[in-house]
Structure 1
Amino acid sequence: MTPTEFKDIDVLRHLIARFVFLLAAICAPVLTVPAVAATDLSTPWTDEDFASVRLISAQTQTGTSDTLRLGLEFELQPDWKIYWRSAGDAGFPPQLDWTGSQNVGDAHILWPAPHRFSIFGLETFGYKDHIILPIDVAVPDRTQAIAVNLNVDYLVCSDICIPASAAFKLDIPTRTASMSGVSKASTHAHEIEKFVSQVPLTGNNLPIEVTSIYPTAKGEETRLHLSVAGLSNAGVSVDDIMVESPLRIGFGAPVSADAIDGADSREFNIPVFGLNADQTLASEKVTVTVVAGPLAVEQNLVISAGPTPSAQNMSNRSNAAAPLDGSGTTIWLIGLFALLGGLILNVMPCVLPVLSIKVMSAINARDSEISRVRSGFLASAAGIVTSFWLIAAALIAIKLAGGSIGWGIQFQQPLFLTVMTIVLALFALNMWGLFEINGSDNLGTAANDVINQQEKGGSHLSSHFMTGMFATLLATPCSAPFLGTAVGFALAGSSFDIIWIFTLLGIGLAIPYLAIAIQPRLAHALPKPGRWMNVVKAVLGFALVGTAIWLLGILSVQIGLGGAIAVGVGLGFGAIFVWARKRSQNLRPRFTFTALAVCGFLVALFAPGFSRPPAPSTASHAANGPLNWQAFAPETIPALIADGKTVFVDVTAEWCVSCQVNKKLVLETAEVAETFADDDIILMQADWTRPDQQIADYLASYGRYGIPFNAVFGPNAPDGVLLSELLSKDMVLDAIKDARPTAGLASN
């Protein structure tokens, strides 16, 4: 390597450190908001020699839901355990007594998948070490405060069993006007949800499924024979099977009846104990829980007298139509979706704001040496991947802090929008040649280094690296086919899932840069630089200004119109003084104009801190548009469906470019708008421009963590028909047709 290349690498290393510091400052509000907004709401620990237990709440106040989620948290000493809802051959589960509670209705425990404990021929089921039992409590009157008075009796066992009890009191206040800007989620919400995710799945279209269950007899020994299908498609293998029956009998551990590892369907035999000679299991109702790695499913089944052809056909069924989620799809397929989603992101509308940077980078590479072109585009790709790593790290930190996470949520933060607006303005001024900063090695900020290197035409690797990072930050408001599925899988999974998927997203977005790095002669196919570049730079400068104005529009929703105008005025004065500095030849006026320009940009930076955000409104931000949108109220959807209505739900935001494209090219077109105007169609819109816990929870309930989000609910689709991120007229009209009641039902 030449001395110049060594110097470039050294500059690149320093620039990475500077950008990490800059991004940390930008994301500080994002990381601190959840910690400030969320509040601890729990009882003190009740300590015993063998266990500690307390009651925690996922909410700090009553909200719009008729259900309150609590958690009974146990910290157990080593070798001690408590019991599942069906304890097995011995023990009993925790018993709850709500006597004395106020504004508390029916309550039920959501039981996470248990462990099996086998000792001296006894089979028991329960939990060890640390467990939170999520509890859903009905709230009769959500406008009133809740007073929880809970007495818990539980049995904890090791070599001996000891009954214990604990009493808890917890008050949850009602939501008041003064609390309207505070999230109702507590610091314990995320911990409770981690154990909710371990509760076995129920219902139809399960990723794995017991397709056949019947008894077999060999001498005096009776066994249950089960077939479990869907294993290879889900990428899991069976760890345990638990059977619950109202009969006073026991069931042993499952034993594999075949030796075909990796098969889609597996056969298991389960020993049955305590069955009388005159008893038969045929036609008995049982509950079967299958645990397969991180996946668990629960089914209520009726035992057949023997194998049936239909059961055999079900065990050989294809799972190609199974719902696409983290439990039903291998991580490798999701990884492929992430790669494709990142690649498609290059042609999405939100990449247009960074088009100028990409165009100038390619043009400036036209007459460069092959090695310099290759290293420059590799640096851009590295910048893109590094940005995705930083975004993943920020999301992991927010998730661990108990906050809401999602794709593009940094655009909900006023400081991030302000900094991006200032950077875009500086890029535009630099495009127009109004200033040039020399001595990049002595600059104090990464932003100045970017501007300097952009003006120099990418002569240093740091320029290309920072271009890739900046492009990523501005591309994140967009969603794309495959991207939503991949991001949803990552954000609902572990920290490893987030890092793995976001790495592949970054590689997908960087593929065009990697392609030029592999074949640098592609850059030499571009026109030679000349005077025409000055025209291109001027036009692209205006494109950057247009993007800055778009961000100011989003900022006005966050901090109010007055605050956004103050930011714009500060940028305007800063630009005027930069222009005046360029025109001046004397040192003293140039210094004065520089100081005034810096003051203007500082006014723009700090103006949001002195602005008063607009009062929250329940009305849709598009209420005055061509479509008759209603306020977002998902709890009313079942009642509307029961009344024969079809509901179209749209979750959007001002910063979501894909949302605006869907609206203009599909939703507001004459053909779709005419269908929307029918009396039986209800349009319901949620505006996620500003942080909203209800909307975040609603998206998470469908495994989505980004927008656009569109779904259609109706009598024929009560669970909803989820639409792709990019809409088409036929897609929307077909979904409405499928969700609407059939002609016969509609006429009744």
Structure 2
Amino acid sequence: MLRHLIARFVFLLAAICAPVLATPAMAATDVSTPWTDEDFASLRLISAQTQTGSSDTLRLGLEFELQPEWKIYWRSAGDAGFPPQLDWTGSQNVGDANILWPAPHRFSIFGLETFGYKNHVILPIDVAIPDRTQSVAINLDVDYLVCSDICIPAAATFALDIPANGNPDTSTSGASTVSTHAHEIEKFVSKVPLTGDNLPIQVSNVFATKDGDATQLHLSVDGLSNAGVTVDDILVESPLRIGFGAPVAVNKDGESNNRHFTVPVFGLNADQDLASETVTVTVIAGPLAIEQSRTVANGPTDASAQGEPLGADTMAPATGAGANIWLIGLFALFGGLILNVMPCVLPVLSIKVMSAINARDGEISRVRSGFLASAAGIITSFWLIAAVLIAIKLAGGSIGWGIQFQQPLFLTVMTIILALFALNMWGLFEINGSDNLGTAANDVINQQEKGGRHLSSHFMTGMFATLLATPCSAPFLGTAVGFALAGSSFDIIWIFTLLGVGLATPYLAIALQPRLAHALPKPGRWMSVVKAVLGLALVGTAIWLLSILAVQIGLGGAIAVGVGLVLGAVFVWARKRSQNLRPRFVFTALAVTGFLVALFAPGFSKPPAPSSVSTAATGPLDWQTFAPETIPALIADGKTVFVDVTAEWCVSCQVNKKLVLETAELAEFFANDDIILMQADWTRPDPEIADYLASYGRYGIPFNAVFGPNAPKGVLLSELLSRDAVLDAIKDARSTAGLASN
């Protein structure tokens, strides 16, 4: 029994570490200049690409590490300072360069308002490449101002070469062109204010009033409650040489979707008027920032904009950040709880049921300790997963929820564990030595159980349940995991801890009220039938994992694993039937050999060649090959594109497909000429798909989005689809002409 538990623990550790072992092959390349160090700051130039690709644009990042209390400035510095100035003289194959300015912080001191960045910031830069078939040689001179109690002008010079892609017209050439810095640059790109008119929140009703020498700019921000955000700060820019103060919220009878603000105006001459002037308004609302240009009206265009100020206090910047992490934490807790009833967790229900049944006649203290141990196993496994993901992220590899199911070793180990669990459920799998040794060992275990110390089996059950549950995504889960993996190491640990607590909640509930287990029926012959059925459920899950393994290593390799498991099971059965010591020893050796064949078979298998068509793209729907670079052209042609990122191991994806996407009603709807179905298969590791998901702050699947003339940036759908949600998203994204054609 003890050796059995040790073997399970070793298998689990090997399964957890499998993604790390596979990371070097997927790791990107470092493309950066050396740091230029000053007493107050360090900076360098980094690239998101290892070579030029199919795009005419190269994305760079100017990275600053600032000492405490020092800051640099935004594009509009405010009452003092100036932003970094870039000189590209001497660069080759470099065109226009555009800095993407992340939303800044407001700094207020002695009545002066300035805007900029502190601590760590990357300024993303999009550089045009006149000839993408040629390499890029960058020579960049940076002049910048850094301030604390004093201000110091500084300069730095960088040289960086980006080689040309041998086949720039091919979007996937087998190797990723994404560097180790791409993810960090994209984190700051995500903080760049959204622009345009079709935004989650909108600036409206912009007008100015004058009372003596005091001028106030009035504006409204619409759609706040619908977007689930509150305004943290508002920055106003004007071509006139004037300044704008911090915004003051105006009370509008508790209305939260549309809020009104006044912004003090400074430096306006007596003969100057803001009416008819164009101002740029940047609204920062927690993780959301938008930027819109508006013409100042002569007076209010909406009488409801009048109101009384909430108070003399100005709005504190970045107040949404703290609330945001607590909200995401709540999402993680609910996501873990809901994961208990998701389809991919149902196969491990047998473990939970048998644990409760076996506890029926146990003492209350033992029931409590057993379920607490299972809960500890769940939470510990989430910590181990978090640690592995942090290690992969620090190494520059791709990370995501459930990506261990892309690793053949993990799938093989989990299949073997399921087979052993099934054999144990049927009463066939038990390792004993001689009768005396077995009796002595059982006596020791019984003594430990009486003392409440033999909890390893319960602990391992919790760990195993968690690992098998990871291919599922659930409502709230995707949002929480995306936040964690896009954030710091602390964010990953914090969110994954709450996910574990959520998944362990049923165990904790029984631990708090152990008599719930005693409400179960008394043990009897019916338990043998239950064990047989639940053993078959575990075998069914093992067969499902073998089907996924066939995609990874080929059908021959998966058959070899299955044959090894069958032989091992047959010899375990033969060992159980034998009464003599020598045959039992031989059958034990043969059973171990069978399981070892299953374990090592993937290493001798040749993976199938990548297919241009998704292996998951089967059924009544006409899926096209995943090509995200073609979506803008399709939208320009009036098409609506439905994107589905799926995988054979993603049970939630299969449920969405069977219960929603492939239903007769939606299949008929998808047959419209203006709808394009595009599917990506993430069953096997694919850097392009991982990068695509990361660009939307997602690190797990299912992922579904709709793009169209009215939604060029996409409408993201929930992890669990519904007919109405899909139809509404397509309706919102389609052009008027497309709707009229139905």
TM-score for both structures, normalised by structure 1: 0.83
**Structure-to-structure mapping, 1:197-276, within 5 angstroms:** 197-203=190-196, 213-225=206-218, 241-251=234-244, 253-254=245-246, 256=248, 270-276=263-269
Say if 2:145 is the partner of 1:156: yes
Matched, 1:70 2:76: no
Q: How far apart are residue 559 of structure 1 and its match?
A: 2.3
SS at match of 2:680: strand
Match of residue 104, structure 2, among 79, 99, 114 = 114
User: What is the aligned partner in structure 2 of residue 7 from structure 1?
Assistant: none
Match of 1:677 in 2: 671
Where does residue 280 of structure 2 map in the other structure?
Answer: 287
Name the residue aligned to 2:313. Answer: none
Per-residue Cα deviation, 1:532-568 (whole angstroms, up to 9, x for no partner): 3223322322222221121111112222233323322
2-structure distance, mates of 1:354, 1:306: 65
User: 146, 151, 162: which is aligned to 1:171?
Assistant: 162
Question: Aligned partner of 1:338: which letter?
Answer: A
Aligned positions of 1:540-551 closer than 5 A: 540-551=534-545
Q: Which runs of 5+ in 1 are unaligned?
A: 1-10, 317-325
Q: 2:172, 2:688 within 8 Å by CA — same for their partners in 1?
A: no
| 1:471 has 2:465 as partner | yes
Aligned to 1:399: 393
- Aligned: 1:134 with 2:128: no
Deviation at 1:68, TM superposition (A): 2.8
- Aligned match for 2:408, one of 403, 408, 414: 414
Aligned 1:145-544 pairs, distance under 5 A: 145-158=134-147, 159=150, 161-162=152-153, 164-174=155-165, 180-203=173-196, 213-225=206-218, 241-251=234-244, 253-254=245-246, 256=248, 270-291=263-284, 296-309=289-302, 312=305, 330-438=324-432, 460-544=454-538
Moved more, 210-219 or 656-665: 210-219
Once residues 205 and 171 of structure 2 are traced to their aligned partners in structure 1, the CA distance between those partners, rounded to angstroms, is 56
Task: Kindly report the root-mean-square deviation, in angstroms, between the aligned alpha carbons of the 2 structures.
Answer: 4.1
Q: SS in structure 1 opposite 2:162? A: strand
SS in 1 for 2:385: helix
Distance of 1:328 and 1:80 partners within structure 2: 23
* Other structure's SS at 1:626 match: coil
CA distance in 2, matches of 1:78, 1:722: 38
Deviations 1:545-597 (A, max 9, x none): 22112111111222223332332233233223323333333333433332333
Following TM superposition, by how much is the alpha carbon of 1:279 offset from its aligned partner in structure 2, in angstroms?
A: 0.7
Distance of 1:394 and 1:171 partners within structure 2:
31
Contact 1:96 1:150 in 2 (8 A): no
Partner of 1:4: none
Shift in CA distance, 133/729, structure 1 to aligned 2, threshold 3 Å: closer
Task: Check 1:459–1:428 CA distance in 2 against 1; reply closer, same or farther (3 A cut).
Answer: farther
* Superposed CA offset, 1:120-149 (max 9, x none): 87654444454321112345665x354132
CA distance 1:695–1:97, shift in 2 (3 Å): same
How big is the shift at 1:55? 1.5
Gaps of 5+ in 2: 310-319
Question: Equivalents in 2 of 1:160, 1:644: separation in Å?
Answer: 53
Partner of 2:625: 631
In structure 1, how many angstroms separate the alpha carbons of the residues matched to 2:67 and 2:355?
60
Counterpart-to-counterpart distance in 2, 1:624 and 1:234: 36
Output aligned runs, 1:659-738, within 5 Å. Answer: 659-738=653-732
Q: CA deviation at 1:708?
A: 1.8
Residue 614 of structure 1, aligned match among 600, 608, 611: 608
Tell me which residue corresponds to 2:76.
86
Paired with 1:598 and 1:21, the residues of 2 have a C-alpha distance of: 15
* Pairs aligned (count): 713
Residues in 2 aligned to 1:584 and 1:93: alpha-carbon distance in whole angstroms:
82
The match for 1:3 is none
Q: Does the CA contact (< 8 Å) of 2:251 and 2:307 recur in 1?
A: no
Query: How far did 1:275 drift?
Result: 2.3
Matched residue of 1:38: which SS? coil
Higher mean Cα deviation, 424-433 or 521-530? 521-530
Q: 1:78 to 1:678 in 2, by over 3 A?
A: closer
Which has the larger displacement, 682-691 or 96-105?
Answer: 96-105
| Paired letter, 1:196 | V
AA aligned to 2:295 is V
State how far apart, in whole Å, the 1-side matches of 2:580 and 2:618 are. 54
Residue 282 of structure 1 and its aligned partner are, at CA, apart by 1.9
Higher alpha-carbon deviation: 239-248 or 682-691: 239-248
How many Å apart are 1:434 and its aligned residue?
A: 2.0
Cα offset for 1:431? 1.8
Q: Given that residues 91 and 155 in structure 1 are in contact (C-alpha distance below 8 angstroms), is that contact kept between their aligned partners in structure 2?
A: no
Q: CA deviation at 1:659?
A: 1.4
| Alignment of 1:603 onto 2:597 | yes
Measured at CA, do residues 541 and 378 of structure 1 come closer, stay the same or move farther in structure 2, by a change above 3 Å? same
> Quick one: structure 1 residues 696 and 355, their matched pair in 2 at CA, closer, same or farther if it must change by over 3 Å?
same
Cα separation, 2, equivalents of 1:94 and 1:628: 50
Q: Distance in 2 between matches of 1:705 and 1:744?
A: 32
Distance 1:637 1:194, change over 3 A: closer
TM-score scaled by length of structure 2: 0.84
Deviation at residue 420 of structure 1 after TM alignment: 0.6
Distance 1:245 1:216 in 2: 16
Paired amino acid for 1:598: V
Q: What is the distance in 2 between the residues matched to 1:397 and 1:568?
A: 32
User: Residues 431 and 33 of structure 1: is their aligned pair in 2 closer, same or farther, counting only changes over 3 Å?
Assistant: same
Q: Which whole-Å CA distance do the structure 1 matches of 2:205 and 2:402 have between them?
A: 45
Are the aligned partners of 1:233 and 1:328 in contact in 2 as well (CA < 8 Å)? no
Identity, in percent, stands at 78
Structure 1 pair 557–375 and aligned structure 2 pair: CA distance change class (3 A):
same
- Match of 2:397, SS state, is coil
**Separation in structure 1 between the aligned mates of residue 8 and residue 303 of structure 2, nearest angstrom:** 61
- The aligned counterpart of 1:323 is none
Q: Determine helix, strand or coil for the equivalent of 1:379.
A: helix
> Counterpart amino acid of 2:628?
P
Is 1:31 aligned to residue 3 of structure 2? no
Asked whether the 8 Å contact 2:674–2:738 carries over to 1, the reply is no
What letter corresponds to residue 657 of structure 2 in structure 1? Answer: K
